[in-house]
Chains A and B, each alone.
Chain A
């Protein structure tokens, strides 16, 4: 630092505006816990030191609003409902079938609207179906969503038509729609699972530190969350005598959701997992877990009472929504702080180099 005789007359610098010209930030303390396989103790590499360009982000957060988080939730509800609808169709549970189908089409329609609204150029939404790209989860997902909506739409039209006493102006289409109703239920169910799971790949197949670090286990969190959400919706809408399977699926979904989330966090880089615990996303995910457990216990204990079932269902729906918003927001947060990008990357690079892999660094001496 240069000094001059005029320094004495210079006004004090405002707090928080200290120039930090590339000085090393003190490495922050790692969060305890997390890895349970002992690998955290086995690190034979120096502690990652954290430097950044004036604290500016390295990667950019996608320009996605809460519409996308809402879609993650609604797509899950639709996917789970597709499976419940087929199960009800095959086991003759008419009310569950009707409600699951209507729930599915409502969720998928709202979700589609949310997705289009979030586009930079909504009027060009159809360009999503301009091509089919296996490397793009958004492209594959758009086709899954389209295929699912086809089957779900046909079954839903039939249900609505029956609901209003065959008063929809379907004309000669009615017998055709009735004939394809069963197969359409199968078709929707075929794409229901992928609809619930692909959004996890959509988030993970990015350079976003938190989402990418979760890439191995996020699909399990999302299908569990979808199962418990759709079951929750069925428990809200349908009398208890037909919701036995929904309650069973809800319990399995809760177990899967809580377990997969814990397992996922344990396997992630501890720094990349931090946004899942801190701040607003951390709060959301904490409550998501509480609500899920409450809903699951409620489904078992109160599931045979109409009110208890509905309350448990609401808790489950809330849990799923909070899980999706929590994971979504954690990713957005992780992109804003360069630490979440730089520290895990430095660590994995140092680990590879300590293991003798020295030829795959982007930085080279020649």
Chain B
């Protein structure tokens, strides 16, 4: 489209707030959600709803699929705690996929079973047996053992506040904007609800707020079958990383309320450092399934503002395994569209020149 020097405006590592020409760029803020210590209490969901006055999503239905009745992020749900129960077989698969990740061009992280003190997880996965393995009896280890039979994965998902945010790039009104903290926020008085951002988000986060039900309920009220008042209807809504609280040097509601510090808030660079330390620590304990999500500024979205420590493949938590900001390919799309336009013009010209006979 434009062959100007765009630097890393479309993809690659960059400072998003500086790219947005903020005169006073603040330190980039973000979350680090360490799912290894999430207990699935959903306090973050509640705190988020309370602080942001987000209305009820849906009609208080139970999903009957797990303890997760929130299901997904959406216009009125800006924190979502995923809940997954896994059996022994699936744990082994997760361990193995994490181990492959460690050995994949990451030479500085050694395979934990090579030299790490044998933790409970390491002994279990090294032998492939669950309990009664001879090695487990050989060492007296007082660490509480990882449950080898099954595990529960709990993870509080949130808007990623991408370095290259597809939602923001494709927004036609400028309603989505980059803040001085490097986060992405919808200005609800500007948004006209075109819905392009919904398609633009590779994580399925932002959504246009309807009245929150599949079939609009007409009765007003707070009980089942009734519809509470829905503010900001018809415009795109998503996590703001509590922009209002940030401006007052306050911690976002979810991080503030998290009882296990699974949700950590802070300067983005510090969080990346903390996340790397934490994953190394887990690897040393033999939890090769631990991995970071969003900490790599070379990934398809230029790294995310909200990082995660996961214990399995991202798609197990409903996260895309290889997201790519759509705008990265926009120059090519524009070029192809220009060629196509030229072809259409040529065809029309040919039609008239040939048709003069």
A interface vs B, CB < 8 Å? 1-2, 17, 19, 21-24, 50-54, 56-64, 79-80, 83-84, 87, 90-91, 118-122, 124-125, 127-128, 130-131, 133-139, 141-142, 193-194, 196-198, 200-202, 204-208, 211-212, 215-217, 219-220, 222-224, 226-227, 244-249, 252-253, 256, 335, 338, 341-342, 345-346, 348-349, 353, 358-366
Interface centre among B200, B205, B348 (most CB of A within 10 A): B348
Q: Do the beta carbons of B291 and A365 come within 8 Å of each other? A: yes
**Chain B interface residue count: which class?**
35 or more
Q: Is the CB of A51 within 8 A of B315?
A: yes
Give bound CA distance, A133 to B327, whole Å. Answer: 12
Considering the chains assembled together, what is the distance between the CA atoms of A360 and B298 in angstroms? Answer: 5
- Name 13 A/B residue pairs within 8 A (Cβ), A-sorted: A51-B316, A56-B71, A62-B195, A64-B199, A128-B173, A196-B341, A205-B200, A206-B196, A207-B323, A217-B336, A219-B333, A219-B339, A362-B294
Complex alpha-carbon distance, A294 and B182, angstroms: 54
- Residue from the list A24, A131, A346, A358 in contact with B104, Cβ < 8 A: A358
Task: Give the residues in chain B near A359, CB-CB below 8 Å.
Answer: 105, 296, 298
Smallest CB gap from A347: residue in B: B322
Which residues of chain B come closer than 8 Å to A207, judged between CB atoms?
166, 199-204, 323, 326
Docked Cα-Cα span, A348 to B329, in Å, equals 15
Docked Cα-Cα span, A39 to B327, in Å, equals: 26
In the assembled complex, which residues on chain B have CB atoms less than 8 Å from the CB atom of A121? 191-193, 234-235
> A60-B201, A364-B106 known; 11 other A-B pairs, CB under 8 Å?
A1-B150, A22-B85, A58-B203, A124-B192, A131-B174, A136-B172, A208-B199, A216-B333, A246-B351, A360-B296, A360-B298
Taking a contact as CB atoms closer than 8 A, the residue among B190, B195, B347 that contacts A64 in the complex is B195
Other-chain contact of A83, B108, B279, B313, B348 (Cβ < 8 Å): B348
Do the beta carbons of A197 and B350 come within 8 Å of each other? no
How many A-B Cβ pairs are below 8 Å?
342
Q: Are A362 and B351 in contact (CB under 8 A)?
A: no
Whether B175 is near chain A, meaning CB under 8 Å from some CB there, is yes
> How far, in whole Å, are A220 and B318 apart by their CA atoms in the complex?
34
Nearest-CB distance from B2 to chain A (Å)?
6
Q: Could you tell me which B residues sit within 8 Å of A by CB distance?
A: 1-2, 10, 63-66, 68, 71-72, 82, 84-87, 90, 93, 98, 101-102, 104-106, 108-109, 149-150, 153, 166, 169-175, 190-196, 198-210, 233-236, 276, 279-280, 283, 291-296, 298-301, 304, 310, 312-323, 326-327, 329-330, 332-334, 336-345, 347-352, 354-357
Least distance between B22 CB and chain A CB atoms (Å): 17
Q: Which residue of A has the minimal Cβ distance to B190?
A: A127
Contact: A249 with B293, CB < 8 Å?
no
Q: How far is the CB of A7 from chain B (nearest CB, A)?
A: 16
Give the shortest distance, in Å, between A1 (CB) and chain B (any CB).
7
> Taking the nearest CB of chain B, how far is it from the CB of A199, in angstroms?
9
Looking across the interface, which residue of chain B has its beta carbon closest to that of A125? B192
B310 / chain A contacts, CB cutoff of 8 Å = 363
Give the CA-CA distance A318 to B209 in the complex, in Å: 34
Residues of B within 8 A of A196 (CB): 341, 344
The reply to whether A341 and B329 form a contact with Cβ atoms under 8 Å apart is no
Cα distance A356–B109 in the bound complex, in angstroms: 18
Which of chain A's residues have a CB closer than 8 A to the CB of B349? 87
Which residue in B84, B235, B342 is a CB contact (below 8 Å) of A22? B84
**Which of A133, A223, A361 is within 8 Å of B171, CB to CB?**
A133
Q: Which of A64, A194, A358, A361 has the most CB of B within 10 A?
A: A361
C-alpha gap A204/B104 in the complex (Å): 32
A95 to B86 alpha-carbon distance, docked (Å) = 71
A206 adjacent to B166 (CB under 8 Å): yes
B315 touches A360 (CB 8 A): no
Closest 3 A/B residue pairs (Cβ): A120-B193, A120-B234, A358-B105
Q: In angstroms, how far is the closest chain B Cβ from the Cβ of A227?
A: 6
B172 touches A133 (CB 8 A): yes
Residues of A within 8 A of B234 (CB): 119-121
Pick from B2, B279, B354: contact of A134, CB below 8 A: B2
Q: Are B192 and A120 in contact (CB under 8 A)?
A: yes
Minimum CB–CB distance for A359 against chain B, Å = 5
Q: Shortest CB–CB separation between residue A190 and chain B, in angstroms?
A: 10
Instruction: Determine whether the beta carbon of A219 is less than 8 Å from that of B235.
Output: no
With both chains docked as a complex, state the minimum distance between the C-beta of B147 and any C-beta of chain A, in angstroms: 11
Q: Which residue of A lies closest to B155 (CB)?
A: A53
CB atoms of A198 and B337 under 8 A apart: yes
Known: A60-B201, A62-B199, A219-B340. A205 touches B326 (CB 8 A): yes
A360→B183 CA distance, assembly (Å) = 22
Residues in A with CB closer than 8 Å to B195 are 62-64, 118-120
A320 CB, min distance to chain B CBs, angstroms: 13
Given contacts A22-B312, A248-B350, are A127 and B175 in contact (CB under 8 A)?
A: yes
- Known contacts A83-B348, A119-B193, A133-B174: A346-B322 contact under CB 8 Å: yes
Q: Are A360 and B2 in contact (CB under 8 A)?
A: no
Q: Which residues of A contact B204 (CB under 8 A)?
A: 57-60, 207
C-alpha spacing A338/B321, complex, angstroms: 11
B-side contacts of A338, CB under 8 Å: 315, 318
**B332 with A215: CB separation less than 8 A:** yes
Q: Distance (Å) between the CB of B306 and the closest chain A CB?
A: 12
Residue of A nearest to B98 (CB): A365
Among B98, B109, B337, point to the contact of A219 (Cβ < 8 A). Answer: B337
Pick the contact of B194: A90, A120, A252, A335 (CB < 8 A): A120
**Contact of A58 with B318 at beta-carbon distance under 8 Å, contacts A201-B334, A366-B109 already known:** yes
- Of all chain B residues, the one with the shortest Cβ separation from A128 is B172
Cα A222 to Cα B340 with chains together (Å): 9
List chain A residues, Cβ under 8 A from B304: 362
